[in-house]
Structure 1
Amino acid sequence: MSEPKILTERRGHLLLIGLNRPEKRNAADYELLNALAEAYGELDRDPELRVGVVHAIGDHFTGGLDLADVGPRIGPEGLSFVGETGVDPWGVSGPRVRKPVVVAVQGTCLTLGIELILAADVAVAARSTRFAQIEVGRGILPFGGATIRFPRSAGWGNAMRYILTGDAFDADEAYRMGLVQEVVDDGDQLDAALAIAGRIAAQAPLAVQATLANAVTAVRDGDAAAEAALQPALVRLAASEDAGIGMQAFLTRSTAEFVGR
């Protein structure tokens, strides 16, 4: 029996989600895409899970889509791989995952790997990582959100420079453009991502999720929609058990142990 193409591991309030097809440079076939969506669904549903950490087994994050497997599955309505209990990791179909996601990348990071970073909240790259958005060289377009998010993250000219040429770029360039938030020595990327995820998970989870949701609302629906949601969110959070825990920790100068209620 073959190993799962997505490995999940719980570490406290973190869910580690590992791409596990190293013999194919973690190229995503249909089975991997579906299992990844299921892992995001688990992260979204489980109240004990506060942050997801996406990483890859082997030397490379991903070589992109396995077009030989996925190509024939693109039908009149596009490509569907999210089951009833899954959540689209790229956030372009259906609801977006409501918990923060931190991504650690290394080696080769092509196409959907870049789009996973763009759909996530924080990204860490190993220093030798090489990136490329090569869909136009394969006769298709990026369909995991790069056309939407890459210009927003990196600026129009920077994004078009790479998504219209398919040219490769390195980790320093990814950092310059704001695609990744930290560049670390090779081999340290997962530990660095886990450290960031742990800091997020230590905060009040309802407040983290509300903050993330409001930021997403601002991007998707505009500032006015986000502004209108601020006060109702504040009122709801102020009545939570965690708000009382946070206030008590402030008054006693102690470390808050939030419960997510």
Structure 2
Amino acid sequence: MTTTGDGAPRVTVERDGHVLLIGWNRADKRNAADFALLQELCLAYAQLERDPELRAGLVFAHGDHFTGGLDLADVSPRIGTEGLSIVPEGGLDPWRVSGPGTTKPVVVAVQGTCLTLGIELMLASDIVVAADSTTFGQIEVARGILPFGGATLRLPRAIGWGNAMRWMLTADTFDAAEAHRLGLVQEVVPHGEQFERGLELAHRVAAQAPLAVQATLASARAAIDDPAAAAASLQPELVRLAATEDVRIGMQAFLSRQPAEFTGR
């Protein structure tokens, strides 16, 4: 594990029941992402994906800011003739640009400054909670580069062409209220409450039938690129899920009016 100068990891990883807490941990640099942080984040996502006991992830940031964007001084020299490769052996791309990423849902909680790859991570995730203190910016064009973590692919689809161009082509910043209006974030909470609310939502997701959650997420993602193929897979997926132990557990919970304790089988 690569560490910061004080010996701390760039990304903290902690289990909370069925939820994996993934924390950006470079607060003294406004959580600017250097190459080591990017690689540790990829490995954390791989842990979420491969551990059968983990059902959801919560990505958050230590300190006052989610991220000031890329640490260009560290990352720029690593851009080669094929671009920038950040995924180490055994890792998964959190931005789902160089690979499919995790099949499990990810909640993101943001605060303070959230620039560039922070927004792109939101776009590649599933639920976002923002503190009312958050300032967003897709500012790559002001640095002479383009968004390469998925904003050009997903932002127009998420908020509409004109809205996306308004923010990507001007490098202007916007607040949490605008992010909520655009649909970039699902909830805005008072500063300091974003982690707890994000964790609450992650646990709500993790309490549902894991195979059904993953199938729902996969179907929705597939429908973005190929709606017909996604539609064709609905009945086969229903048949597959209907044969699982979790369906029986869910039905028994419904009949007994008791909370379900799903097994993921």
What CA distance in whole angstroms lies between the structure 2 residues aligned with 1:48 and 1:219?
28
Q: Which residue of 1 aligns with 2:187?
A: 182
Deviation at 1:76, TM superposition (A): 1.0
* Matching residue's letter, 2:200: A
Deviation at 1:65, TM superposition (A): 0.2
1:219 matched to 2:203? The reply is no
User: Cα RMSD over matched residues?
Assistant: 0.7
What CA distance in whole angstroms lies between the structure 2 residues aligned with 1:119 and 1:95?
10
> Given the alignment, which residue of 206, 215, 234 partners 1:230?
234
Number of paired residues?
Answer: 260
- Post-superposition CA distance 1:156-206 (Å, at most 9, x none): 111110000100000000000000000000000000101111110010000
Instruction: Give 1:57-76 correspondences, 5 Å limit.
Output: 57-76=62-81
* Matching residue's letter, 1:198: H
* Matching residue's letter, 2:23: G
1:153 matched to 2:158? The reply is yes
Q: Which residue of 2 aligns with 1:240?
A: 244
1:38 matched to 2:43? The reply is yes
Deviation at 1:84, TM superposition (A): 2.1
- Post-superposition CA distance 1:190-228 (Å, at most 9, x none): 0010111111001000000000001111112x2101011
Deviation at 1:123, TM superposition (A): 0.2
Q: Which residue of 2 aligns with 1:112?
A: 117
1:80 matched to 2:88? The reply is no
> Given the alignment, which residue of 241, 244, 249 partners 2:253?
249
SS at match of 2:58: strand
Deviation at 1:117, TM superposition (A): 0.5
* Matching residue's letter, 2:230: A
SS at match of 1:131: strand
What CA distance in whole angstroms lies between the structure 2 residues aligned with 1:106 and 1:136?
23
Q: Which residue of 2 aligns with 1:171?
A: 176
More off after superposition, 21-30 vs 150-159: 150-159
What CA distance in whole angstroms lies between the structure 2 residues aligned with 1:2 and 1:133?
31
Q: Which residue of 2 aligns with 1:141?
A: 146
> Given the alignment, which residue of 27, 40, 45 partners 1:22?
27
* Matching residue's letter, 2:153: I
SS at match of 1:118: helix
What CA distance in whole angstroms lies between the structure 2 residues aligned with 1:52 and 1:131?
22
Deviation at 1:96, TM superposition (A): 2.1
Deviation at 1:152, TM superposition (A): 1.0
Q: Which runs of 5+ in 2 are unaligned?
A: 1-5
What CA distance in whole angstroms lies between the structure 1 residues aligned with 2:29 and 2:109?
18
* Matching residue's letter, 1:166: A
Q: Which runs of 5+ in 1 are unaligned?
A: none
Q: Which residue of 1 aligns with 2:3?
A: none
* Matching residue's letter, 1:12: G
Poorly superposed stretches of 4+, deviation over 6 Å: none
Deviation at 1:42, TM superposition (A): 0.4
Q: TM-score, normalised by structure 1?
A: 0.98
* Matching residue's letter, 2:260: A
Q: Which residue of 1 aligns with 2:264?
A: 260
